[in-house]
Amino acid sequence: MKFVHLALIHSPMGGLHVAASLIALLAGTRILLLAKGGKMHKIWGYGYAGAMLATNATAFMLFQLFGGFGPFHVAAIFSLLTLCMGMYPAISRKNPDWIRRHMYWMHYSVVGLYAALISEIVVRVPLGISFFTAVGLGTGAVVLLGVWIIQRKAPYWMQEGGKSLKNK
């Protein structure tokens, strides 16, 4: 089955989902570029978290693609988990390892968001491959690259970002 889905928004809820996703993409990307632990990091971080909560909440209200609960709803559950696993350590600061946990899980959250963006793009471009093949390849490539970058850069991020975060 070759699938090209050209319509971007199918309902007002879909419009809210797209808007929240774009805000999350902007905020998530901005956070990656900011110095960690400062006021702007926190402002953009809470903006990202709010936009991701809205993105995931609206995802559970969209059923046009499969007519019911589908694989993208499962992805939204994983997205919520990574977001909660990243925000909880930073908010509670109960664990002495909270900075590392926050850093890893929030990066995984952003990688998941980028994977969702690539999945949206590849199903709308006529590649001549099936819907699930396009989504699988696009998502898999982004996740593998994202995990590789995170694992490779985490020691540097912890060294540089951890300095400013430990004093907060």
With a pLDDT cut of 90, the percent of the chain lying above it is 46
Each residue's pLDDT tens digit, 98-130: 999 999 999 999 999 999 999 888 877 777 888
Q: Which of 15-19, 74-78, 93-97, 138-142 has the lowest mean pLDDT?
A: 15-19
Residue bearing tokens 């850093």: 103
Question: In this predicted model, which residue has the larger pLDDT, 37 or 77?
Answer: 77
Asked if residue 53 belongs to a domain, the reply is yes
Which residues, listed in sequence order, are joined to residue 131 by a DSSP beta bridge? none
**Number of independent structural domains in the chain:** 1
Asked if residue 46 belongs to a domain, the reply is yes
Asked if residue 47 belongs to a domain, the reply is yes
Residue bearing tokens 């900075």: 99
pLDDT at 149 over 90: yes
pTM of the model: 0.82
pLDDT at 163 over 60: no
Cα 120 versus chain centre, distance: 13
Give me the pLDDT at residue 66, please. 63
Taking the C-alpha atoms of residue 28 and residue 25, their distance in angstroms, rounded to an integer, is: 5
Give me the pLDDT at residue 43, please. 95
Asked if residue 75 belongs to a domain, the reply is yes
Which residues, listed in sequence order, are joined to residue 2 by a DSSP beta bridge? 130
Asked if residue 5 belongs to a domain, the reply is no
Taking the C-alpha atoms of residue 165 and residue 97, their distance in angstroms, rounded to an integer, is: 12
Asked if residue 43 belongs to a domain, the reply is yes
Sequence letter at residue 77? I
Question: In this predicted model, which residue has the larger pLDDT, 126 or 3?
Answer: 126
Residues of the domain holding 107? 12-166
Residue bearing tokens 């949206």: 120
